[in-house]
């Protein structure tokens, strides 16, 4: 299992699927119960092992207080589709979002985030693909918390959106005006600031020049 987890994570970032957001109303982002069950099982199995700990994994003596937190369903924006995005068109920008069959679970120990476990689905089965250190997942949790408090939405109606080619992550939610995106970190090249929510159409408009100039190689 350790070998599977340490395998390069680039493959899942390039997965595409069907658009997961449609219509003008906020709706729960569905995370399969099987993903939750697999995350809890994997955390217990790996957490009980002796030896060197994986990134984000609590100490063995803390495992009785450890549990998966509220998940981030992961969607992505493909470079080729972003390059073809037309800001003036009336099309719903959510059409650029694709399900990656990936869910990120914060690992909580007594209510505090120690890291995260990335679960992926392949051939109908959920399994752990990677563990992430505390600082990265804490940044995601912080921005998601800001979105929840400011927009008045539930945790389950948010999702994590990645643009792999540009190496940017955003928290997505819907309101009466449509899809909204909030950068997790500053992205000066496009004038985006961490925690500053903008309509998805505007975010994609700002990212369009960078996408157009991109050489197509992985970042």
Q: Residues for the chain: how many in total?
A: 219
Any domain includes 168: yes
Can you give the pLDDT at residue 197? 98
Instruction: State what percent of residues in the chain have pLDDT above 90.
Output: 65
> Taking residues 36-65, what's their average pLDDT?
86
Residue 36 located in a structural domain: yes
Q: Is residue 219 part of a domain?
A: no
Q: Does position 3 have pLDDT exceeding 50, yes or no? A: no
The answer to whether the CB of 205 falls within 8 A of the CB of 188 is: no
Quote the pLDDT of residue 122.
94
Q: What separation in angstroms does the CA of 80 have from each of 13, 86, 101, 165, 187?
A: 14, 12, 20, 10, 20
Instruction: With respect to residue 122, please indicate whether it lies within any of the assigned structural domains.
Output: yes
Q: What is the pLDDT of the chain when averaged over all its residues?
A: 86
Q: What is the mean pLDDT of residues 53-69?
A: 85
Q: Average pLDDT, stretch 101-124?
A: 93
- The predicted pLDDT at position 65 comes to 87
Number of domains in the chain: 1
Domain housing 42:
2-213
pLDDT band of residue 51 (cuts 50, 70, 90) is: confident
Indicate whether 218 belongs to any domain. no
Q: Mean pLDDT, to the nearest integer, of 19-28?
A: 48
């Amino acid at each position: 299992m350790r070998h599977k987890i340490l395998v390069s994570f680039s493959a899942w970032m390039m997965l595409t699927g069907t658009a997961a957001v449609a219509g003008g109303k906020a709706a729960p982002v569905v995370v399969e119960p099987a993903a939750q069950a697999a995350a809890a099982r994997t955390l217990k199995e790996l957490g009980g092992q002796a030896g060197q700990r994986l990134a984000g994994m609590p100490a063995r003596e803390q495992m009785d207080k450890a549990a998966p937190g509220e998940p981030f369903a992961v969607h992505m924006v493909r470079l080729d589709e972003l390059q073809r995005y037309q800001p003036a068109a009336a099309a719903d920008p959510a059409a650029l979002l694709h399900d990656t069959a990936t869910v990120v679970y914060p690992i909580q120990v007594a209510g505090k985030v120690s890291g995260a476990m990335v679960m992926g689905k392949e051939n109908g089965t959920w399994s752990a693909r990677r563990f992430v250190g505390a600082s990265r997942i804490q940044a995601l949790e912080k921005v998601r918390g800001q979105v929840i408090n400011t927009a008045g939405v539930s945790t389950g109606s948010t999702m994590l959106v990645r643009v792999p080619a540009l190496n940017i992550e955003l928290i997505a939610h819907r309101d009466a005006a449509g899809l909204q995106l909030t950068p997790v970190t500053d992205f000066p090249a496009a004038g985006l600031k961490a925690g500053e929510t903008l309509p998805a159409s505007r975010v994609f408009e700002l990212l369009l020049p960078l996408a157009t100039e991109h050489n197509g190689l992985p970042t």
